[in-house]
Structure 1
Amino acid sequence: MGKGEHTREVILDEAGGLAARVGLGGLTIGELAARTELSKSGLFAHFGSKESLQLQVFERTVTRITDVVIRPALRAPRGEPRLRTLVDRWLDWASANGGCPLLAATFEFDDQPGPLRDRVAAAQNDWIDTLTTVCTTGIAEGHFRPDLDPRQLAVDIEGVLLAYHVMHRLLADPAARDRALHSIDALIAAAR
Protein backbone atom coordinates (compact mmCIF):
# COMPACT_ATOMS: atom_id res chain seq x y z
CA MET A 1 0.00 0.00 0.00
CA GLY A 2 1.41 3.36 -1.04
CA LYS A 3 1.59 6.44 1.16
CA GLY A 4 -1.48 8.01 -0.50
CA GLU A 5 -3.55 4.87 0.01
CA HIS A 6 -2.35 4.57 3.62
CA THR A 7 -3.32 8.20 4.26
CA ARG A 8 -6.72 7.60 2.70
CA GLU A 9 -7.24 4.56 4.98
CA VAL A 10 -6.29 6.61 8.06
CA ILE A 11 -8.75 9.32 7.01
CA LEU A 12 -11.55 6.82 6.40
CA ASP A 13 -10.92 5.12 9.75
CA GLU A 14 -11.08 8.43 11.57
CA ALA A 15 -14.11 9.54 9.55
CA GLY A 16 -15.91 6.27 10.30
CA GLY A 17 -15.35 6.69 14.03
CA LEU A 18 -16.49 10.29 13.90
CA ALA A 19 -19.54 9.41 11.78
CA ALA A 20 -20.54 6.76 14.34
CA ARG A 21 -20.86 9.58 16.88
CA VAL A 22 -22.14 12.52 14.80
CA GLY A 23 -23.62 10.86 11.70
CA LEU A 24 -22.47 11.16 8.12
CA GLY A 25 -24.02 14.62 7.88
CA GLY A 26 -21.94 15.74 10.86
CA LEU A 27 -18.67 14.94 9.11
CA THR A 28 -16.77 18.08 8.25
CA ILE A 29 -13.56 18.46 6.31
CA GLY A 30 -12.30 20.88 8.99
CA GLU A 31 -12.90 18.52 11.92
CA LEU A 32 -11.44 15.60 10.02
CA ALA A 33 -8.39 17.62 8.99
CA ALA A 34 -7.76 18.54 12.62
CA ARG A 35 -8.16 14.94 13.81
CA THR A 36 -5.85 13.54 11.12
CA GLU A 37 -3.40 16.47 11.27
CA LEU A 38 -3.81 17.08 7.54
CA SER A 39 -4.57 20.33 5.83
CA LYS A 40 -8.12 20.89 4.61
CA SER A 41 -6.82 21.13 1.06
CA GLY A 42 -4.84 17.90 1.49
CA LEU A 43 -7.89 16.11 2.83
CA PHE A 44 -10.08 17.59 0.10
CA ALA A 45 -7.61 16.29 -2.50
CA HIS A 46 -8.32 12.73 -1.34
CA PHE A 47 -12.11 13.00 -1.66
CA GLY A 48 -13.03 16.04 -3.74
CA SER A 49 -16.19 16.83 -1.80
CA LYS A 50 -17.97 16.21 1.47
CA GLU A 51 -20.48 14.02 -0.36
CA SER A 52 -17.71 11.88 -1.82
CA LEU A 53 -16.22 11.51 1.67
CA GLN A 54 -19.62 10.52 3.07
CA LEU A 55 -20.18 7.96 0.30
CA GLN A 56 -16.75 6.40 0.83
CA VAL A 57 -17.23 6.24 4.61
CA PHE A 58 -20.62 4.63 4.03
CA GLU A 59 -19.16 2.11 1.56
CA ARG A 60 -16.51 1.21 4.09
CA THR A 61 -19.23 0.66 6.70
CA VAL A 62 -21.17 -1.60 4.33
CA THR A 63 -18.02 -3.58 3.62
CA ARG A 64 -17.36 -4.01 7.34
CA ILE A 65 -20.93 -5.14 8.02
CA THR A 66 -20.57 -7.65 5.20
CA ASP A 67 -17.24 -8.91 6.56
CA VAL A 68 -18.19 -8.97 10.25
CA VAL A 69 -21.88 -9.89 10.13
CA ILE A 70 -23.03 -11.40 6.85
CA ARG A 71 -20.16 -13.55 5.58
CA PRO A 72 -19.53 -15.30 8.92
CA ALA A 73 -23.27 -15.90 9.39
CA LEU A 74 -23.53 -17.50 5.96
CA ARG A 75 -21.13 -20.20 7.17
CA ALA A 76 -23.66 -21.31 9.81
CA PRO A 77 -25.99 -24.20 8.94
CA ARG A 78 -28.83 -23.18 6.63
CA GLY A 79 -32.24 -22.23 7.96
CA GLU A 80 -33.00 -21.21 11.52
CA PRO A 81 -29.38 -21.58 12.78
CA ARG A 82 -28.18 -19.23 10.05
CA LEU A 83 -30.93 -16.73 10.80
CA ARG A 84 -30.10 -16.74 14.51
CA THR A 85 -26.39 -16.36 13.76
CA LEU A 86 -27.10 -13.45 11.42
CA VAL A 87 -29.19 -11.69 14.08
CA ASP A 88 -26.63 -12.40 16.84
CA ARG A 89 -23.76 -11.10 14.74
CA TRP A 90 -25.76 -8.00 13.80
CA LEU A 91 -26.53 -7.34 17.48
CA ASP A 92 -22.83 -7.77 18.32
CA TRP A 93 -21.93 -5.34 15.52
CA ALA A 94 -24.50 -2.77 16.59
CA SER A 95 -23.52 -3.08 20.26
CA ALA A 96 -19.85 -2.50 19.44
CA ASN A 97 -20.68 0.58 17.36
CA GLY A 98 -23.18 2.27 19.67
CA GLY A 99 -25.92 1.24 17.24
CA CYS A 100 -25.85 0.27 13.60
CA PRO A 101 -24.25 2.93 11.37
CA LEU A 102 -26.37 1.67 8.44
CA LEU A 103 -29.57 2.26 10.40
CA ALA A 104 -28.30 5.62 11.62
CA ALA A 105 -27.70 6.64 8.00
CA THR A 106 -31.14 5.32 7.08
CA PHE A 107 -32.74 7.69 9.58
CA GLU A 108 -30.39 10.53 8.69
CA PHE A 109 -30.87 10.45 4.91
CA ASP A 110 -34.38 9.04 4.43
CA ASP A 111 -35.73 12.38 3.22
CA GLN A 112 -32.62 13.86 1.58
CA PRO A 113 -32.64 13.06 -2.15
CA GLY A 114 -29.31 12.43 -3.80
CA PRO A 115 -26.61 9.84 -4.35
CA LEU A 116 -26.00 9.20 -0.65
CA ARG A 117 -29.67 8.56 0.07
CA ASP A 118 -29.84 6.29 -2.97
CA ARG A 119 -26.83 4.29 -1.76
CA VAL A 120 -28.24 4.05 1.78
CA ALA A 121 -31.57 2.81 0.36
CA ALA A 122 -29.77 0.25 -1.81
CA ALA A 123 -27.79 -1.04 1.16
CA GLN A 124 -30.95 -1.30 3.24
CA ASN A 125 -32.67 -3.21 0.42
CA ASP A 126 -29.66 -5.54 0.18
CA TRP A 127 -29.90 -6.23 3.93
CA ILE A 128 -33.63 -7.00 3.74
CA ASP A 129 -32.95 -9.23 0.70
CA THR A 130 -30.28 -11.08 2.70
CA LEU A 131 -32.69 -11.62 5.58
CA THR A 132 -35.37 -12.75 3.13
CA THR A 133 -33.04 -15.27 1.49
CA VAL A 134 -32.02 -16.69 4.86
CA CYS A 135 -35.70 -16.97 5.86
CA THR A 136 -36.46 -18.68 2.55
CA THR A 137 -33.78 -21.30 3.22
CA GLY A 138 -35.45 -21.88 6.57
CA ILE A 139 -38.55 -22.98 4.69
CA ALA A 140 -36.53 -25.20 2.34
CA GLU A 141 -34.76 -26.80 5.32
CA GLY A 142 -38.11 -27.55 7.00
CA HIS A 143 -37.44 -25.24 9.94
CA PHE A 144 -40.26 -22.88 9.01
CA ARG A 145 -43.76 -23.67 7.82
CA PRO A 146 -44.26 -23.93 4.04
CA ASP A 147 -46.84 -21.12 3.87
CA LEU A 148 -44.54 -18.61 5.61
CA ASP A 149 -43.97 -15.33 3.77
CA PRO A 150 -40.16 -15.03 4.07
CA ARG A 151 -40.18 -11.34 3.12
CA GLN A 152 -42.66 -10.59 5.90
CA LEU A 153 -40.51 -12.45 8.43
CA ALA A 154 -37.47 -10.48 7.22
CA VAL A 155 -39.34 -7.20 7.61
CA ASP A 156 -40.56 -8.21 11.07
CA ILE A 157 -37.00 -9.06 12.10
CA GLU A 158 -35.78 -5.74 10.73
CA GLY A 159 -38.47 -4.06 12.86
CA VAL A 160 -36.99 -5.71 15.95
CA LEU A 161 -33.50 -4.59 14.93
CA LEU A 162 -34.74 -1.03 14.41
CA ALA A 163 -36.29 -1.10 17.87
CA TYR A 164 -33.03 -2.44 19.30
CA HIS A 165 -31.12 0.43 17.66
CA VAL A 166 -33.42 2.98 19.31
CA MET A 167 -33.47 1.23 22.69
CA HIS A 168 -29.69 0.77 22.74
CA ARG A 169 -28.48 4.00 21.16
CA LEU A 170 -31.05 6.59 22.12
CA LEU A 171 -32.50 5.21 25.34
CA ALA A 172 -29.41 3.34 26.61
CA ASP A 173 -31.65 0.50 27.83
CA PRO A 174 -29.36 -2.15 29.35
CA ALA A 175 -31.98 -4.77 28.51
CA ALA A 176 -32.19 -3.80 24.82
CA ARG A 177 -30.42 -6.93 23.56
CA ASP A 178 -32.46 -9.27 25.76
CA ARG A 179 -35.67 -7.61 24.60
CA ALA A 180 -34.61 -7.91 20.96
CA LEU A 181 -33.72 -11.60 21.35
CA HIS A 182 -37.03 -12.25 23.10
CA SER A 183 -38.86 -10.69 20.15
CA ILE A 184 -36.76 -12.67 17.64
CA ASP A 185 -37.56 -15.88 19.55
CA ALA A 186 -41.27 -15.07 19.31
CA LEU A 187 -41.06 -14.38 15.57
CA ILE A 188 -39.16 -17.61 14.92
CA ALA A 189 -41.56 -19.63 17.07
CA ALA A 190 -44.47 -18.21 15.05
CA ALA A 191 -42.64 -19.07 11.82
CA ARG A 192 -42.23 -22.77 12.67
Structure 2
Amino acid sequence: MGKAEKTRQFIIEQAAPLFNKQGVAGTAISDIIKATNLAKGGIYGNFSSKEEIVMEVFDYIAEEEKLNLRKVTATASTSVGKFEALFKYYSRFPRDQRVAGGCPMLNFGVEADDTNPGLKKKVSELVLYYESRIAKMVQYGKDNGEFEQDWDERKFAIKMFTMLEGAILVSSVLGHNKQMLVVLEALREEIKQHSL
Protein backbone atom coordinates (compact mmCIF):
# COMPACT_ATOMS: atom_id res chain seq x y z
CA MET A 1 0.00 0.00 0.00
CA GLY A 2 1.47 3.32 -1.10
CA LYS A 3 1.44 6.56 0.88
CA ALA A 4 -1.66 7.90 -0.91
CA GLU A 5 -3.55 4.64 -0.31
CA LYS A 6 -2.52 4.64 3.36
CA THR A 7 -3.74 8.23 3.79
CA ARG A 8 -7.01 7.40 2.06
CA GLN A 9 -7.50 4.35 4.31
CA PHE A 10 -6.63 6.43 7.40
CA ILE A 11 -9.30 8.99 6.48
CA ILE A 12 -11.87 6.22 5.99
CA GLU A 13 -11.05 4.60 9.34
CA GLN A 14 -11.20 7.91 11.21
CA ALA A 15 -14.41 9.00 9.48
CA ALA A 16 -16.23 5.68 10.04
CA PRO A 17 -17.18 6.22 13.72
CA LEU A 18 -18.10 9.84 12.98
CA PHE A 19 -20.60 8.94 10.27
CA ASN A 20 -21.89 5.97 12.26
CA LYS A 21 -22.46 8.06 15.42
CA GLN A 22 -23.40 11.47 14.00
CA GLY A 23 -24.97 10.44 10.72
CA VAL A 24 -24.14 11.58 7.22
CA ALA A 25 -25.96 14.90 7.53
CA GLY A 26 -24.56 15.49 11.02
CA THR A 27 -20.93 14.95 10.02
CA ALA A 28 -19.12 17.85 8.37
CA ILE A 29 -15.81 17.80 6.54
CA SER A 30 -14.50 19.90 9.46
CA ASP A 31 -15.23 16.93 11.77
CA ILE A 32 -13.14 14.68 9.53
CA ILE A 33 -10.36 17.29 9.42
CA LYS A 34 -10.35 17.40 13.22
CA ALA A 35 -10.35 13.59 13.58
CA THR A 36 -7.55 13.10 11.06
CA ASN A 37 -5.44 16.21 11.79
CA LEU A 38 -5.23 16.70 8.04
CA ALA A 39 -5.76 19.96 6.18
CA LYS A 40 -8.82 20.39 3.99
CA GLY A 41 -6.56 19.83 0.97
CA GLY A 42 -5.44 16.53 2.50
CA ILE A 43 -9.04 15.35 2.56
CA TYR A 44 -9.99 16.64 -0.89
CA GLY A 45 -6.68 15.49 -2.33
CA ASN A 46 -7.86 11.93 -1.62
CA PHE A 47 -11.63 12.24 -2.10
CA SER A 48 -13.61 14.34 -4.55
CA SER A 49 -16.53 14.91 -2.16
CA LYS A 50 -18.10 14.08 1.17
CA GLU A 51 -20.40 11.71 -0.72
CA GLU A 52 -17.40 9.70 -1.92
CA ILE A 53 -16.10 9.47 1.66
CA VAL A 54 -19.52 8.27 2.86
CA MET A 55 -19.68 5.51 0.26
CA GLU A 56 -16.12 4.37 1.01
CA VAL A 57 -16.79 4.48 4.75
CA PHE A 58 -19.85 2.29 4.39
CA ASP A 59 -17.88 -0.21 2.28
CA TYR A 60 -15.21 -0.28 4.97
CA ILE A 61 -17.77 -0.77 7.76
CA ALA A 62 -19.58 -3.47 5.75
CA GLU A 63 -16.34 -5.43 5.30
CA GLU A 64 -15.55 -5.06 9.02
CA GLU A 65 -19.04 -6.35 9.88
CA LYS A 66 -18.71 -9.33 7.50
CA LEU A 67 -15.28 -10.16 8.88
CA ASN A 68 -16.62 -10.01 12.41
CA LEU A 69 -19.55 -12.27 11.57
CA ARG A 70 -17.21 -14.86 10.04
CA LYS A 71 -14.85 -14.58 13.01
CA VAL A 72 -17.62 -15.08 15.58
CA THR A 73 -19.06 -18.15 13.85
CA ALA A 74 -15.69 -19.71 12.90
CA THR A 75 -15.12 -20.84 16.48
CA ALA A 76 -17.79 -23.56 16.24
CA SER A 77 -17.89 -26.67 14.05
CA THR A 78 -21.65 -27.33 14.22
CA SER A 79 -24.51 -25.17 13.04
CA VAL A 80 -26.02 -25.10 16.53
CA GLY A 81 -22.63 -24.03 17.88
CA LYS A 82 -22.36 -21.27 15.27
CA PHE A 83 -25.79 -19.94 16.22
CA GLU A 84 -24.89 -20.05 19.90
CA ALA A 85 -21.66 -18.15 19.22
CA LEU A 86 -23.70 -15.48 17.42
CA PHE A 87 -26.21 -15.31 20.24
CA LYS A 88 -23.43 -14.93 22.81
CA TYR A 89 -22.02 -12.06 20.74
CA TYR A 90 -25.39 -10.31 20.42
CA SER A 91 -26.15 -10.80 24.12
CA ARG A 92 -23.35 -8.33 24.87
CA PHE A 93 -24.79 -5.62 22.63
CA PRO A 94 -24.52 -2.61 22.95
CA ARG A 95 -21.14 -3.06 24.73
CA ASP A 96 -19.37 -5.00 21.97
CA GLN A 97 -19.35 -3.04 18.73
CA ARG A 98 -16.83 -3.13 15.91
CA VAL A 99 -17.43 0.49 14.92
CA ALA A 100 -18.59 2.92 17.60
CA GLY A 101 -22.06 4.36 17.28
CA GLY A 102 -24.39 1.39 16.99
CA CYS A 103 -25.52 -0.74 14.11
CA PRO A 104 -24.38 0.74 10.78
CA MET A 105 -27.23 -0.91 8.87
CA LEU A 106 -29.74 0.91 11.06
CA ASN A 107 -27.81 4.18 11.18
CA PHE A 108 -26.98 4.45 7.49
CA GLY A 109 -30.15 2.70 6.32
CA VAL A 110 -32.59 5.04 8.03
CA GLU A 111 -30.72 8.11 6.85
CA ALA A 112 -30.28 6.89 3.27
CA ASP A 113 -33.83 5.58 2.87
CA ASP A 114 -35.22 8.61 1.07
CA THR A 115 -32.15 10.70 0.41
CA ASN A 116 -29.36 8.58 -1.01
CA PRO A 117 -30.25 5.73 -3.41
CA GLY A 118 -26.61 4.63 -3.79
CA LEU A 119 -26.09 4.27 -0.07
CA LYS A 120 -29.50 2.62 0.32
CA LYS A 121 -28.41 0.01 -2.24
CA LYS A 122 -25.21 -0.70 -0.29
CA VAL A 123 -27.16 -1.11 2.97
CA SER A 124 -29.64 -3.42 1.21
CA GLU A 125 -26.78 -5.57 -0.04
CA LEU A 126 -25.40 -5.89 3.50
CA VAL A 127 -28.84 -6.86 4.85
CA LEU A 128 -29.13 -9.56 2.18
CA TYR A 129 -25.60 -10.75 2.95
CA TYR A 130 -26.51 -11.25 6.62
CA GLU A 131 -29.71 -13.05 5.73
CA SER A 132 -27.86 -15.34 3.32
CA ARG A 133 -25.26 -16.18 5.98
CA ILE A 134 -28.02 -17.16 8.43
CA ALA A 135 -29.75 -19.25 5.76
CA LYS A 136 -26.43 -20.99 4.99
CA MET A 137 -25.97 -21.81 8.67
CA VAL A 138 -29.38 -23.49 8.71
CA GLN A 139 -28.61 -25.34 5.48
CA TYR A 140 -25.26 -26.45 6.91
CA GLY A 141 -27.13 -27.89 9.90
CA LYS A 142 -29.63 -29.64 7.63
CA ASP A 143 -26.78 -31.13 5.58
CA ASN A 144 -25.10 -32.39 8.75
CA GLY A 145 -28.21 -33.91 10.31
CA GLU A 146 -28.69 -31.27 13.01
CA PHE A 147 -31.97 -29.82 11.71
CA GLU A 148 -35.20 -31.06 10.13
CA GLN A 149 -35.06 -31.05 6.34
CA ASP A 150 -38.36 -29.16 5.96
CA TRP A 151 -37.19 -26.14 7.98
CA ASP A 152 -37.37 -23.11 5.66
CA GLU A 153 -33.95 -21.51 6.05
CA ARG A 154 -34.89 -18.39 4.08
CA LYS A 155 -37.90 -17.55 6.25
CA PHE A 156 -35.92 -18.18 9.43
CA ALA A 157 -33.06 -15.99 8.15
CA ILE A 158 -35.45 -13.10 7.50
CA LYS A 159 -37.07 -13.56 10.91
CA MET A 160 -33.78 -13.86 12.79
CA PHE A 161 -32.17 -10.89 11.09
CA THR A 162 -35.20 -8.67 11.55
CA MET A 163 -35.63 -9.63 15.20
CA LEU A 164 -31.96 -8.97 15.93
CA GLU A 165 -32.01 -5.59 14.19
CA GLY A 166 -35.13 -4.59 16.12
CA ALA A 167 -33.51 -5.69 19.37
CA ILE A 168 -30.37 -3.72 18.51
CA LEU A 169 -32.44 -0.59 17.96
CA VAL A 170 -34.33 -1.02 21.24
CA SER A 171 -31.15 -1.90 23.17
CA SER A 172 -29.44 1.21 21.81
CA VAL A 173 -32.34 3.46 22.74
CA LEU A 174 -32.84 2.00 26.23
CA GLY A 175 -29.14 1.47 27.00
CA HIS A 176 -29.51 -2.13 28.14
CA ASN A 177 -29.98 -5.55 26.56
CA LYS A 178 -33.11 -6.88 28.30
CA GLN A 179 -35.13 -7.01 25.06
CA MET A 180 -32.18 -8.50 23.19
CA LEU A 181 -32.03 -11.39 25.68
CA VAL A 182 -35.75 -12.09 25.17
CA VAL A 183 -35.27 -12.12 21.37
CA LEU A 184 -32.26 -14.44 21.65
CA GLU A 185 -34.25 -16.85 23.81
CA ALA A 186 -37.08 -16.91 21.24
CA LEU A 187 -34.57 -17.67 18.48
CA ARG A 188 -32.98 -20.44 20.56
CA GLU A 189 -36.42 -21.96 21.08
CA GLU A 190 -37.15 -21.97 17.37
CA ILE A 191 -33.80 -23.63 16.66
CA LYS A 192 -34.59 -26.30 19.28
CA GLN A 193 -38.00 -26.93 17.67
CA HIS A 194 -36.27 -27.79 14.38
CA SER A 195 -33.34 -29.71 15.86
CA LEU A 196 -33.09 -33.50 15.53
State the TM-score, normalized to the length of structure 1.
0.86
Task: Tell me if the contact between 1:160 and 1:183 (Cα under 8 Å) persists in the aligned partners.
Answer: no
Q: Is the contact made by 1:100 and 1:165 (CA closer than 8 Å) also made in structure 2?
A: yes
Alpha-carbon distance in structure 1 between the residues aligned to 2:140 and 2:178: 30
Distance 1:183 1:23, change over 3 A: farther
Q: Share of identical aligned residues, percent? A: 23
What is the CA–CA distance in structure 1 between the aligned matches of 2:92 and 2:52, rounded to whole Å? 29
1:96 is paired with a residue whose SS is coil
Higher share in helix: 1
- 1:31 aligned partner: 31
Partner of 1:178: 181
How many angstroms does 1:92 deviate by?
A: 5.1
Partner Cα separation in structure 2 for residue 178 and residue 17 of structure 1 = 26
Paired amino acid for 1:7:
T
2: distance between equivalents of 1:10 and 1:63? 15
1:153 aligns with 2:156: yes
With the length of structure 2 as denominator, give the TM-score of the two structures: 0.84
Question: Is the aligned partner of 1:12 residue 2:12?
Answer: yes
Shift of 1:75: 4.9
Q: In the alignment, is residue 162 of structure 1 matched against residue 134 of structure 2?
A: no
CA distance in 1: counterparts of 2:77 and 2:161, whole angstroms = 21
In structure 2, what is the equivalent of residue 140 of structure 1?
143
Shift of 1:94: 5.5
- Is the Cα–Cα contact under 8 Å of residues 79 and 140 in structure 2 kept in the other structure? yes
2:167, 2:180 within 8 Å by CA — same for their partners in 1? yes
Distance 1:14 1:181, change over 3 A: same
Q: Which has the higher contact order (CA 8 A, sep 6+)?
A: 2
CA distance in 2, matches of 1:51, 1:90: 31
How many equivalent pairs are there? 192
8 Å Cα contact 1:29-1:44 kept in structure 2: no
Gaps of 5+ in 2: none
Contact 1:133 1:150 in 2 (8 A): yes
Q: Return closer, same or farther for 1:112/1:24 CA change in 2, 3 Å cut-off.
A: same
Distance (whole Å) between structure 1 residues aligned to residue 102 and residue 182 of structure 2: 15
